[in-house]
Structure 1
Amino acid sequence: MGGSGPARALMFQGTGSDVGKSLVVAGLARAFTLRGLRIMPFKPQNMSNNAAVTADGGEIGRAQALQARAAKVPLSVHMNPVLLKPQSDVGAQVVVQGRVEGNAKAADYQKLKPELLPRVLQSFEHLKAQADLVLVEGAGSASEINLRRNDIANMGFARAADVPVVLIGDIDRGGVIASLAGTKLVIEPQDAEMIGGFIVNRFRGDPALFADGMRLIAEHTGWRSMGLLPHFADAARLPAEDALGLQGAGVRRCSAKIRIAVPILPHISNFDDLDPLEAEPQLELMRIRSGQVIPADCDLVLLVGSKATIADLAALREAGFDVDIAAHHRRGARVLGLCGGYQMLGRMISDPDGIEGPPGTVKGLGLLDVETVLTGEKRLEAAQGTSFDTISLSGYEMHVGRTFGPDCARPFSTLASGADGARSADGRVWGTYLHGLFADDRQRTSWLMRLGGSASELDYEAGIEEVLDRLAAHMEQHLELDALLRLAR
């Protein structure tokens, strides 16, 4: 539980999206935890299709899950009380305190915000009661004054909860002096008064060369420098929340024994399922985009999760990946579908209630003799059991829909809750609703050996912990942690 005095809080906002707010909060969460403080991460509003299942049976953004891990506390729905999950024709799914409350287009959501603020503040107070310090992450840019009215993600929250703010700018993008000073220029004076300090993130080179830059930012804004934070290369080893992390072709390993091809589709979700595979030195993970061809010599085609399965299936066909996958299967190679990818592999997907868009039914890829009916009820739970090859596994389920058919008689796994997934009669196509499969070292080894590789020498979870500890040391070395604690209130 929290300390003897009232909990303090400090908010980190950015001059733009992807300036490193999530990583800074994660690093500070581990650093202050190692100092003996009880830390709780909090993000009032998040937009992401990469989510985690919480201990209290809901879901939150993946970044807050990583921050909670850094703070060594159980995940709670209150850490991210409003989660927006973009879909196709229905706008975004609105998840409030871990539970789906409907869908909303952008304009409708703006009108909904005033109703959500009391619940955001309720979650914040819930965390404060358990903490010495709550580290709050903003969303997008603090300078989006066009969205300031009814804001619950940045200054609207900071003012309502009376939480001081540190503003983060990204020097790697260029123009960091203008972005920080410009934020002071355009935001309301009362909002600017909430900001007590700034951080310049992702610096490369000799810090002495930017000493004048830090001084000028302080002069133009009146805010105190909390540090110049060098680029932290190992951030790439931590689970990413934003699909921007999927840019690029992946790590090229010409000497790799195994090649896995992953079609990247518009509404990809829970893509941190790929991180443990990316970390395997004996494997090359190829991200295949529209306009490219799935390589004929890959050992496995992996279809990952989707927030809009029917729309992504249409995108897959438009890209010609369905032809590539069928040819891949005819050549005797293997295909694995996770969650939405599993649904795509079946004969048919029905959406009678318009969960993802207009009601209707579409044909699947037909590689598994199953069909899926999308329903409004969402399954969110941790899972443990054994896979079809009797190897123990752990992961989590996060999906809507019910899948059934003859191939389900050959389940992918047996869980405490019952059978999961399906296998084809020829033994070369698999589907499962489980996420987190490859983070389990036992399962990853089983798949590597099945595909012609050797046992994994990677302790994936221990590696994440090691990176978080080094990230904390990075924060201690380059940021003014004592000044941050004094600023918090």
Structure 2
Amino acid sequence: MAGLMIQGTGSDVGKSVLVAGLCRALANRGLSVLPFKPQNMSNNAAVTADGGEIGRAQALQAIAARAPLHTDMNPVLLKPQADHTAQLVVHGQVRGTLGAANFIEGRRPLLPEVLQSWERLRARCDIVVVEGAGSPAEINLREGDIANMGFARAAGVPVVLAGDIDRGGVIAALVGTHAVIDPADAAMIRGFIINKFRGDLSLFADGYAAIEQRTGWPGFGVLPWLPAVSRLPSEDAVVLDRADRRHMGKGVLIACAMLPRIANFDDLDPLKTEPGVTVAMVPPGTPIPAEADVIVLPGTKATIADMAFLRAQGWDIDVLAHHRRGGRVLGICGGYQMLGRTIADPLGLEGPPGEVGGLGLMDHATLLQPRKTLRDVRGTALGAPFAGYEMHMGETGRAPADTPFAMLDDGRTDGAVSPCGRVIGTYCHGLFASGPLRRAFLARLGVEGHGLDHGATVDAALDELAEGMERHLDIDGLLALGRA
């Protein structure tokens, strides 16, 4: 019943991947291990076995630990939406919204519930590996904190601080964190890890020693840039800003609009592994490529607000012109809602109450409702079996002229296919992780996909990550610290 927390000097320094790798390394040693993140802010979420939702990073970490997904692994999830607010999810269920003005006050009362989840997890395993959020150096957010030192001190969990050397300034980031945080918070930090190193390790020996000398924290190693990480799903949409969007002029081009509140964008990750397929994330200010074979409208946390953004970018013109030229369009979840005639939010669930027009590529209407659908699904679509999950707050009717996209094993139908067959909408996330369905989808585009199981690809990458961490980090020391 031990615990160890990985915090970082900033966002996107690799905390999620480090926790996943540590979970797999400890699981491979025969230990019962579970992941935990007290508070997460992400629109990428996964459905759990107990009927709730957690951040997809914790879902990946649970897979790494070879454990079923559970809402206790991420008791507080904030999902940014329109108007500077975030949907508040506690123990997997929607509890309302938090705005910038009441963010600190709104999260403080949640610490007891966070600690309840922590204690339940501790009772179920040998060790819990905890991920922080952002950075403990954000001292302006320290009051009421439940994500970093607020949790660590309340639970008595030792902290290891991770720094990203690839972005530069890692010595200043680690030493600076030590300098600005409260001494009682600094006392919770028992060591550091250098992440994402490239080049000759000997060149950093003096820097490593300087960090130890200036902070008094021991180092637990330097982890090089590991190729396996590129085969793991990313949690935060910030990685999309660095995505390679080039199309080399060969094969199929699938273009996805980068909506401001894009959700569950890892739906497309399996397609990126297929030879002859380019998945291009189209950023704001850029037209959707005219040469695209398929345009994807992805999931979104705020459909109406992102519909307005799509129009402001002129992407609606691009989509409609693409369709007129005979191109294909795929809408997933919120993107499916955008394909229809109207989207109505009379209760103001995503922002001000109202109704907007959709793209009109399908003749359906969507009504946003307060009850959130969260469930795993299995079924058949395009003549192939698949498994996925639903996560949405809207109900969408199907026009008489459209046919269902999928027949689900529980007898329900999902989504719609237009009479021309070139427009598809679905509420099912995770479709393309299923090799047979991915292969059937690509066959319609004239591509013979390899149809490999994406889950097996991710699992192999986790093993490679764990092996790399065993080689380069002091896993024995980290385990001893967590058990102290």
Say whether the fold is shared (TM-score over 0.5): yes
Against the structure 1 CA distance between its residues 271 and 306, is the aligned structure 2 distance closer, same or farther, given a 3 Å change threshold?
same
1:179 aligned onto 2:173: yes
1:414 matched residue in structure 2: 407
Alignment coverage as a number of residue pairs? 482
Against the structure 1 CA distance between its residues 482 and 57, is the aligned structure 2 distance closer, same or farther, given a 3 Å change threshold?
same
Residue 457 of structure 1: how far off its partner (Å): 4.7
Q: Quick one: which of 230, 254, 275 aligns to 1:236?
A: 230
2:72 matched residue in structure 1: 78
1:42 aligned onto 2:36: yes
Aligned residue for 2:111, secondary structure, equals helix
Q: Quick one: which of 344, 350, 355 aligns to 2:344?
A: 350
2:60 matched residue in structure 1: 66
1:444 matched residue in structure 2: 438
Aligned-partner residue type, residue 359 of structure 2: L
The answer on whether the counterparts of 1:46 and 1:83 sit within 8 Å (CA) in structure 2 is yes
Residue 234 of structure 1: how far off its partner (Å): 2.7
Give the whole-Å Cα distance in 2 for the aligned partners of 1:69 and 1:486: 23
Give the whole-Å Cα distance in 1 for the aligned partners of 2:238 and 2:400: 36
Larger mean Cα displacement after TM superposition, 73-82 or 231-240 = 231-240
The answer on whether the counterparts of 1:12 and 1:25 sit within 8 Å (CA) in structure 2 is yes
Q: What is the root-mean-square deviation in Å for CA atoms of aligned residues?
A: 1.3
Aligned-partner residue type, residue 466 of structure 2: A
The answer on whether the counterparts of 1:407 and 1:425 sit within 8 Å (CA) in structure 2 is no
TM-score, normalising length from structure 1? 0.96
Aligned-partner residue type, residue 17 of structure 2: L
The answer on whether the counterparts of 1:262 and 1:301 sit within 8 Å (CA) in structure 2 is yes
1:81-160 alignment to 2 at 5 Å? Answer: 81-89=75-83, 91-160=85-154
Residue 180 of structure 1: how far off its partner (Å): 0.8
Give the whole-Å Cα distance in 2 for the aligned partners of 1:365 and 1:268: 18
1:279-330: per-residue Cα shift (whole Å, max 9, x none)?
A: 1121011222222222222211111100010111111111111111111111
Aligned-partner residue type, residue 232 of structure 1: L
1:402 matched residue in structure 2: 395
1:414-461: per-residue Cα shift (whole Å, max 9, x none)?
A: 111511111212221110000001111011000110011113253322
Q: Quick one: which of 3, 6, 25 aligns to 1:12?
A: 6
The answer on whether the counterparts of 2:247 and 2:253 sit within 8 Å (CA) in structure 1 is no
Aligned residue for 1:173, secondary structure, equals coil
Aligned residue for 2:457, secondary structure, equals helix
Give the whole-Å Cα distance in 2 for the aligned partners of 1:51 and 1:219: 40
Give the whole-Å Cα distance in 1 for the aligned partners of 2:400 and 2:256: 23
Larger mean Cα displacement after TM superposition, 277-286 or 439-448 = 277-286
1:443-462 alignment to 2 at 5 Å? Answer: 443-462=437-456
TM-score, normalising length from structure 2? 0.97
1:393 matched residue in structure 2: 386
> Which runs of structure 1 show a deviation greater than 6 angstroms over 4 or more consecutive aligned residues?
none
Give the whole-Å Cα distance in 1 for the aligned partners of 2:283 and 2:392: 24
The answer on whether the counterparts of 1:368 and 1:407 sit within 8 Å (CA) in structure 2 is no
Residue 256 of structure 1: how far off its partner (Å): 3.5
Aligned-partner residue type, residue 472 of structure 2: H
Give the whole-Å Cα distance in 1 for the aligned partners of 2:451 and 2:438: 10
1:290-439 alignment to 2 at 5 Å? Answer: 290-387=284-381, 389-407=382-400, 410-415=403-408, 416=410, 418-439=412-433
- Please list every run of 5 or more consecutive structure 1 residues that lacks an aligned counterpart in the other structure: 1-6
Give the whole-Å Cα distance in 2 for the aligned partners of 1:105 and 1:417: 40
Give the whole-Å Cα distance in 1 for the aligned partners of 2:120 and 2:234: 27
Against the structure 1 CA distance between its residues 474 and 251, is the aligned structure 2 distance closer, same or farther, given a 3 Å change threshold?
farther
Against the structure 1 CA distance between its residues 46 and 186, is the aligned structure 2 distance closer, same or farther, given a 3 Å change threshold?
same
Residue 390 of structure 1: how far off its partner (Å): 2.7
Larger mean Cα displacement after TM superposition, 243-252 or 25-34 = 243-252
Aligned-partner residue type, residue 407 of structure 2: T
1:4 matched residue in structure 2: none
- Please list every run of 5 or more consecutive structure 2 residues that lacks an aligned counterpart in the other structure: none
- Structure 1 vs Structure 2: percent identity of aligned residues? 58
